[in-house]
Amino acid sequence: MSSTEETIVALATPPGRSALGVVRLSGPGCREISRLLLGTELEPRRATARRLRRGEVIVDRVVATYWAGPVTPTGEDLLELAAHGSPEILREIVSAAIEAGARAAAPGEFTRRAYVNGRLDLAQARAVGDLIAARGAAARSAALRRLEGGLSDALDEVRAPILELLAALEVRLDHPEEDIAPLAPSEADASLRDASAGIERLLAGYARGRSRREGARVGLFGSPNAGKSSLLNALLGRPRAIVSSMPGTTRDVLEEQAELGGAVVTLVDTAGLREDAEGGAEREGVARAEGALESCEVAVLVVDSARAPDELDDRTRDYIAAAAKRRGAALIVAHNKSDLPGARAEHGVSCSALTGHGLDALEAAIAAAAGGAAADEGECLLDDARQSAALARALAELAAARAELAARPGAWEDRAADRLRRALALLNEARGDGAAEAVLDEIFSKFCIGK
Ligand SMILES: Nc1nc2c(ncn2[C@@H]2O[C@H](COP(=O)(O)OP(=O)(O)OP(=O)(O)O)[C@@H](O)[C@H]2O)c(=O)[nH]1
Ligand SMILES: [Mg+2]
């Protein structure tokens, strides 16, 4: 679909009224089209203010910049027209460009051309989409790191020992007459271990990467009236959930996305847990809260710190703590209502949904548990299911190669080389080299037009 013979055009800024709007063109026709629309030759890389015409009609006064390919973001000639941000003007400019020989770009086509022309690899191209879609500072910086090639570099690092080992094997297999000394199995094993460890590190970052993008689920649990809904509202900064002094107010599970301490999370408010829940709706609410506990990465146990816990509170606390432990979820205890006289806080965070006291600390504790902590800033992240599946299969191939080595130390080269070739192909697949057209279509169709 993306014949690079064609010049494409699209609005690069969001539709609607704004101070400026940018129309972007990429392809071999940029120079000619700029001459037709602006009546002049543009000097490359120099922003020039000109009147833009559609036929005889002046559409707007624009700032036009032309870049000559191939050292441009798309790898082709590129033309950017910054106009006044009126939808009518911008539509006119796109129409004028089409009349002058461009065609409307498909979603993601600019980025796709960058990929086809070797300006970005597929991991980077995906990162462009992620960067634009990213909510929260952590997701943004992870996407930016991938755009800068962090993941590609990490994959190169993993590939290096495999390539080296394969080359050493192949020269021996292809030239048996040369009488080269056989490879020491222990050395080969060390290379394989190296590469495997690198892949394992990338895979370990996957779960965290995904929760960064989609947001970890953070559930608020506890006894009725502890202030779960009040805390949800306080963390969101708006009255999303109904709050009342009646225990058993919240009946359903309520979910809202929020950005806490740089991490995107999905906050989940639940019904207060109690065994003697009255009536169908409240019992159903308790059942749903228990269900929500099964899907959260972080459980916040909210307790009313101004009230001495009774036996039911203790059982609720134990139940939540046990469920969190069983699932490997982080547990944070929020001692709410710290503003009330007699409020006590043992281990955990002391806070008040009412006054806002301690909410910063609670946010920070949630963000750290949700994996958005600044501690792992430098880590390269893998957050795509397809890439992680390819890496997992590559890891299995390396394990199989090591098994060959262990099983037949005298005659392992041939079969191990086969495994290594497959592992390399899978690593290339993770990187997106030679991705099938259908895969590209799927990836780029998720982009908006103009990207
Ligand atoms: N003084 C004080 N009151 C609070 C605080 N947080 C909540 N409350 C009050 O406690 C009562 C219960 O609050 P909710 O947020 O509805 O409690 P909940 O845990 O969602 O209750 P259920 O949905 O019934 O399980 C309300 O009257 C709130 O105004 C707080 O930090 N300080
Ligand atoms: Mg509630």
Q: What is the CATH number of the domain that holds 311?
A: 3.40.50.300
Same domain, 223 and 203: no
- The strand order across the sheet containing 254-260 reads 254-260, 263-269, 216-222, 298-304, 330-336, 349-350
Provide the residue range defining the domain that includes 200. Answer: 132-209+382-443
Residue 64 parent element (H or E): strand 57-67
Cβ(202)–Cβ(158) below 8 Å: yes
In a domain, 50, yes or no: yes
Same domain, 293 and 359: yes
Q: What's the gap between Cα 300 and its chain centre? A: 24
Cβ(37)–Cβ(52) below 8 Å: yes
Same domain, 338 and 232: yes
In a domain, 338, yes or no: yes
149 backbone φψ class: left, alpha, beta (φ>0; ψ -120 to 50): left
Q: Which of 343, 369, 395 is the last residue of a domain?
A: 369
Q: What is the CATH number of the domain that holds 86?
A: 3.30.1360.120
DSSP E strands in 275-359: the ranges are 298-304, 330-336, 349-350
Say what the pLDDT of residue 278 is.
Answer: 66
Where do we find the tokens 């359903």?
252
| 226-263 per-position pLDDT tens digit | 999 999 999 999 999 999 999 889 988 999 988 888 77
Same domain, 281 and 393: no
Say what the pLDDT of residue 151 is.
Answer: 77
Same domain, 436 and 389: yes
DSSP-based three-state secondary structure for 75: coil
Same domain, 170 and 275: no
In a domain, 124, yes or no: no
Q: Give, using CA atoms, the residue closest to atom 3 of ligand 1.
A: 337
- Cα 232 to middle of ligand 2, angstroms: 9
Say what the pLDDT of residue 244 is.
Answer: 93
Say what the pLDDT of residue 211 is.
Answer: 62
Same domain, 223 and 152: no
Closest ligand 1 atom number to CA of residue 223:
25
Q: Which of 328, 343, 369 is the last residue of a domain?
A: 369
- Cα 214 to middle of ligand 2, angstroms: 25
- One DSSP character per residue, 386-446 reads HHHHHHHHHHHHHHHHHHHHHH-TTS-HHHHHHHHHHHHHHHHHHHTTT--HHHHHHHHHT
Nearest ligand atom owner, CA of 227: 1
Enumerate residue ranges in the chain where pLDDT < 50: 1-2, 372-378
Any idea how long the chain is? 451
Closest ligand 1 atom number to CA of residue 336:
31
Same domain, 427 and 290: no
Q: How far apart are CA 78 and CA 57, in angstroms?
A: 24
Say what the pLDDT of residue 4 is.
Answer: 63
In a domain, 451, yes or no: no
In a domain, 449, yes or no: no
pTM confidence score: 0.51
Which residue of 230, 254, 268, 359 sits with most ligand 1 atoms within 8 Å of its CB, as the best mutation to test the pocket?
A: 230
Angle at 393 between CA 116 and CA 169, to 5 degrees: 85
Q: What is the CATH number of the domain that holds 182?
A: 1.20.120.430
Number of domains in the chain: 3
Q: Give, using CA atoms, the residue closest to atom 1 of ligand 1.
A: 337
Say what the pLDDT of residue 103 is.
Answer: 93
Same domain, 41 and 180: no
In a domain, 126, yes or no: no
Closest ligand 1 atom number to CA of residue 226:
19
Same domain, 386 and 415: yes
In a domain, 169, yes or no: yes
Say what the pLDDT of residue 375 is.
Answer: 40
In a domain, 377, yes or no: no
Cβ(273)–Cβ(221) below 8 Å: yes
Same domain, 400 and 358: no
Q: How far apart are CA 58 and CA 255, in angstroms?
A: 51
Q: Which of 64, 90, 119 is the last residue of a domain?
A: 119
Same domain, 144 and 184: yes
